[in-house]
Structure 1
Amino acid sequence: MKKQTLAIDTPYQHPDAYGALSMPVYHCAAYEFDNAEEMADAFCGRSDMPDYSRVTNPTVTYFERKVAALAEAAEAVAFSSGMAAISNTLFCLASQGRTILTSRHLFGNTFALIGGTMLRFGVRPKLCDLTDIEAVENAIDDTTCCIFMEIITNPQMEIADIRALADVAHRHNIPLVADTTTIPFTQFSAKALGVDIEVVSSTKYISGGATSIGGVVIDYGTHPNFGKRMRQEMLMNLGAYMSPHVAYMQTVGLETLDARYRVQADNALTVAKAIKDIPGIQRVRYPGLADDPYHDIARRQFGETSGAMLTIDIASKEACYKFIDNLRLIRRATNLFDNRSLAIHPASTIFGNFNERQREKMDILDTTIRLSIGLEAAEDIIEDIKGGLKY
């Protein structure tokens, strides 16, 4: 079946007693077994029966199986947030004395996790320009446990060569971990590009309009024992499993993901083209634009669409604040890929707790505004941007 069909018609793991068309929400903590042997099999992973909702729940399992089917993956594991998906993945792969090879061009909390929190546990970051494949090759040593990347960096809009990074990683027997939140797995295949482990903030496109917070780790089964350790250690010991109600809402969101994404991506390209020459806008960054420095690699890796995030640069931080304050349709809010269009000033919010020198090294500019383009009419979004510039 095509992905859009799979998103709607993936069968339940067990038939529903009442023939419900939507997977019921199993709001329960524990499950009764017929006998002691059946209980032991469930707890030790020898059956697919749920044992305890901190680690397995039928509603969450159905969401995970649907994601795995859409991504053509060995397994998917659902978490309480995108950051939980990232942190559990990295704690699963790393240990004291190991290093994570990554870029300075990361989402603020991801950078803080790798460069701060994990450092306290003896795991060090090694920062490298991931667009320089030779530099990446030279940066790997015996301590490197993985390469971690974002497929379109937030908010720098940088795109590295995923296939080349995967080849380097695999030559050194380490996994490539990719945060693919900016382009949904219904649009492109991370597996085909060599990604071993995919992490996604399902809060974004998947949730269906910012209804809930969640994250997913998609395991392609190419790194030994990752899936087993994730289930038997990370979920059991760290307790960040997705809740059943969130899984229900995000399962419903998956059904319309492809349709919503295509409208948002089309809107983003229309908006980017329309505003790139407006007086007052110094630069528009969107890989769908033919003159964007990452346009060719975006087309090669992601196909005909380039996501629904773009950035604009205007005169100053003060001008950015005035622009945001002047908006009437676009919401002043964090998050990405809501049904509504959103605007934020990354330097003073997402990266507000980094000092000026740190932001400079991360290429976070005071002049940048990040826009997440929603499902409104593109013409109305464009008019609101024009209105925002009247200060």
Structure 2
Amino acid sequence: MMQKDFTTGIISTGYFKKDAYNALQMPLYANAAYEFESAEAMADAFQGRSAEHTYSRITNPTVQYFEQRVQKITGAVGVTALNSGMAAITNVILELAYAGANIVTSSHLFGNTWSLLSSTLAPFGLETRFCDLTNPEEVAANVDENTCAIFLEIVTNPHLEVADLKALSAVAKSKNVPLVADTTIIPFIDFHAQDFGVNIEIVSSTKYISGGATSIGGLVIDYGNFNWKHSKRLEAFAKQFGPMAFTAKMRKEIHRNVGAYMSPQTAQLQTLGLETVELRFRQASNSAKELAKRMKSLTGIKHVNHIGLEDHPYYSISKEQFGEYTGAMFTFTLDSQEACFAFLDKLKLIRRATNLFDNRTLIIHPASTIYGTFTQAQRDEMDIDDCLIRISIGLESVDDLLADIKQALV
């Protein structure tokens, strides 16, 4: 069960085993292999008859504790920590997909996710069906007997499009297809994915969780709320493991074969980051909304796009799904790409850098950076505007951020 208070749940999570020195923080187990007292004990561990660690590419005590904390406060049946958000997405798709399968998603995806589906996995026989995920009827029309998943970002980056998750979940259930959601933009502090019918949640823990961009990581969170007998890839595992089929296959095959497990050094940093994520997220989220409001009246800014503003087209569904805190990222547009570059060059406090949800405020021109290697036709397909700027709000004061923006607009 989820702890009523997020931070209390994080801090009160105990270890699987008592620490030899009663350390309050999980020690860093920076090792590759583990010694066994006997050949029989070694065989038991490698064949899954015991829960002992065998090799840190597969499991590690420090990483396991990070996973345990996330599992406790999300109410998941299984959590797998990987070495990036993209690794988490890739592992999930490799688990569900097969040659001849299709995945239904939006063209409004983060650039590397779009590229993974369109360029990297397509030659292996996975079809991607891009459609409007805000239109449940269109989604339903694209799902067939070979659809392995409906995949979405709960807030698209950088478009800030928000689909109705309950409507998508209803489509997924009616078609016996899992609903997989990248929830990075709104962390599980306030957004409870399973309440909206999400079966598998994917998080780039690099963002809010890492504690100020200290490390790169990703999470796959399994809620055990899908009947995996309907999945062609997981049917056999469903017979043996029931609701745990997805995590069982991830642990026994996918993640150990792909080799993208999180490092213990990263897990230690992100375990600490979890303890303060609630405070940092809520401050940054409030600051983002306030700054967006103030920026709407500035000369030189054409449009401010923040899902927490009442004039946003997805304001109502965002409030319903995410509540008071709607994230620390928003976008705005200027007159031209040249104006965007001139503005960025004048900034003094705000950092010209990629990434999201650092303790520092970061800003980027998506069309020339994240999407800079895509063709114009591809950018048009993904609706990437040359005049768009994305900003991720950190922990600085709103007054200081606004002053920097004002001087850069002159």
Q: Specify the TM-score bucket, using the shorter chain as the normaliser.
A: over 0.9
Q: TM-score, structure 2 length as denominator?
A: 0.94
Q: How far 1:163 sits from its partner (Å)?
A: 1.1
Equivalent of 1:250 in 249, 260, 270: 270
Three-state SS of the structure 2 residue aligned to 1:217 is: strand
Q: How far 1:358 sits from its partner (Å)?
A: 1.2
Note the 1:78-89 alignment, pairs <5 A: 78-89=81-92
Equivalent of 2:43 in 22, 40, 47: 40
Q: How far 1:48 sits from its partner (Å)?
A: 2.3
Mapped to 1, the partners of 2:43 and 2:152 lie a distance apart of 39
Mapped to 2, the partners of 1:261 and 1:250 lie a distance apart of 14
Note the 1:133-152 alignment, pairs <5 A: 133-152=136-155
Note the 1:101-180 alignment, pairs <5 A: 101-180=104-183
Tell me the equivalent position of 1:352. Answer: 372
Note the 1:35-114 alignment, pairs <5 A: 35-114=38-117
Tell me the equivalent position of 2:234. Answer: none
Three-state SS of the structure 2 residue aligned to 1:209 is: coil
Tell me the equivalent position of 2:240. Answer: none
Aligned residue type for 2:65: Y
Tell me the equivalent position of 2:337. Answer: 317
Q: How far 1:357 sits from its partner (Å)?
A: 1.4
Three-state SS of the structure 1 residue aligned to 2:391 is: strand
Mapped to 2, the partners of 1:222 and 1:90 lie a distance apart of 18
Tell me the equivalent position of 1:273. Answer: 293
Cα deviation digits, residues 320-351 of structure 1 (max 9, x gap) = 00111111111000000000000000000001
* 1:283 aligns to 2:286 (yes or no): no
Three-state SS of the structure 2 residue aligned to 1:45 is: coil
Note the 1:215-254 alignment, pairs <5 A: 215-223=218-226, 224=228, 225-254=245-274
Tell me the equivalent position of 1:193. Answer: 196
Say which is worse superposed, 161-170 or 146-155, in terms of deviation.
161-170
Three-state SS of the structure 2 residue aligned to 1:192 is: helix
Note the 1:17-36 alignment, pairs <5 A: 17-36=20-39
Three-state SS of the structure 2 residue aligned to 1:206 is: helix
Q: How far 1:143 sits from its partner (Å)?
A: 1.3
Mapped to 2, the partners of 1:7 and 1:387 lie a distance apart of 41
- Structure 1's unaligned 5+ residue stretches are none
Identity %: 55
Mapped to 2, the partners of 1:342 and 1:257 lie a distance apart of 18
Cα deviation digits, residues 144-181 of structure 1 (max 9, x gap) = 10001000000000000011111111111111110000
Q: TM-score, structure 1 length as denominator?
A: 0.98
Mapped to 1, the partners of 2:397 and 2:47 lie a distance apart of 52
Q: How far 1:46 sits from its partner (Å)?
A: 3.0
Tell me the equivalent position of 1:383. Answer: 403
Tell me the equivalent position of 1:305. Answer: 325
- Structure 2's unaligned 5+ residue stretches are 229-244
Q: How far 1:219 sits from its partner (Å)?
A: 0.6
Three-state SS of the structure 2 residue aligned to 1:371 is: strand
Tell me the equivalent position of 1:9. Answer: 12
Aligned residue type for 1:10: T
Q: How far 1:106 sits from its partner (Å)?
A: 0.3
Three-state SS of the structure 2 residue aligned to 1:191 is: helix
